[in-house]
A and B are shown apart, each in its own frame.
Chain A
Amino acid sequence: MTEYLYPNLPESGNSLAISSEAQFVIKNFENSHYLFLNGSLYIQSVYKQQLKEKFEAYTSIWITETMFSSSVHEIINNSAYRSIVKLGKDVIPFIIEELKKEENHWFYALEALTGQNPIKQEHRGIIRLMKSDWIEWAEKNNNYDVDTSCIS
């Protein structure tokens, strides 16, 4: 008769064996959960609202901490600015809207997030023209228009 050795869970740290039926159920549950999150307008609107709030909070900190900075290195290496970039591509429409309202040093964030740099050589250092180059780019790439329909 074969002697079975049951694993000592606290020592081995391995998970229990799962039957193929259980794996099937788990997989379908995960797929349903994923479809719900991505298909739900409510969930999307909550996500966008939370993202917007984070973006605005970091922006406020960044502006305060760099208000006297002439150094572009200091401005773009600010931890709040870096946090904005870490929020990912979904903040691009928020940055474009901010840039439309007021000139600021968003250029490196936009370049990092889009992988693009539409600033013309002769516009370098002229903030209003650098801004125009990016606004023009955003209008040509209309997937970066701000969709605020889900945000209250």
Chain B
Amino acid sequence: MMLTHPAFPNTLVEPFIITSPQTINYNCIAWAYGDDTKWYWPVGNYYWPTEIPCELKAECFVLLFEKIGYRVCESSNLELEFDKIALYCDNMGIPTHAARQLPNGKWTSKLGQQHDIEHTIFSMSNGHYGNAVIFMKRKI
């Protein structure tokens, strides 16, 4: 099922594809991390690894993904021997979202408390989450 929404204006050109039922069990950070059991966020009652500073800063999210082998890279291009993730930030540089690349070169995201979706970098850009500003990769 396709999804277009005013919060993501580029979906008028490239709609999202819904790939799961709605659930609050996990958020986009957890989904990009590979965990569908918890809500990850660096604040109080939510899950955040104790060894990573509990601060709403891009560098803390980079440390989160470095913990499972990712390293910052330059592009979102598909490289078959690598997993990739994309970190989105708003125009103040505050992290808002993460997406994980699929083997077909498209991306999978959890839309907050809603569904998982498949999308392109373009379709999610300039919307509710801002833009993808950091890409990271790890060897498969």
Contact = CB atoms under 8 A, between A and B. Distances in A.
6 contacts: A66-B112, A71-B41, A72-B46, A125-B47, A126-B37, A127-B39
Interface stretch (B21-29, B66-74, B75-83): B21-29
B38 interface: yes
Interface string A41-75: 00000000000000000000000001111111110
A130 B129 CA distance: 26
Nearest to B41: A72
B7 A68 contact: yes
A97 interface: no
Interface of B: 5, 7, 24-25, 27-30, 37-41, 43-48, 56, 95-97, 110-114, 128-129
A103 interface: yes
Contacts of B28: 70
B22 to A, nearest CB: 10
- Majority DSSP secondary structure for residues of A touching B: loop
Interface string A122-134: 0011111010000
B39 A125 contact: yes
Nearest to B22: A67
Contacts of A111: 45
Nearest to A68: B112
A126 B24 contact: no
B39 A68 contact: no
Given A67-B113, A68-B111, A107 B45 contact: yes
Interface of A: 66-74, 103-104, 107-108, 111, 117, 119, 124-128, 130
A73 B56 contact: yes
Contacts of A67: 111-114
Q: What are the 6 tightest A-B residue pairs by CB atom distance, in nearest-first order?
A: A125-B47, A125-B38, A70-B27, A68-B112, A72-B41, A70-B28
A117 B24 contact: no
Contacts of B7: 68
A102 B47 CA distance: 20
Contacts of A70: 27-29, 41, 96-97, 110, 112
Contact of A104 (B5, B24, B96, B110): B24
A71 B96 contact: yes
A69 B45 contact: no
Contact of A125 (B46, B110, B111, B112): B46
A127 B25 contact: yes
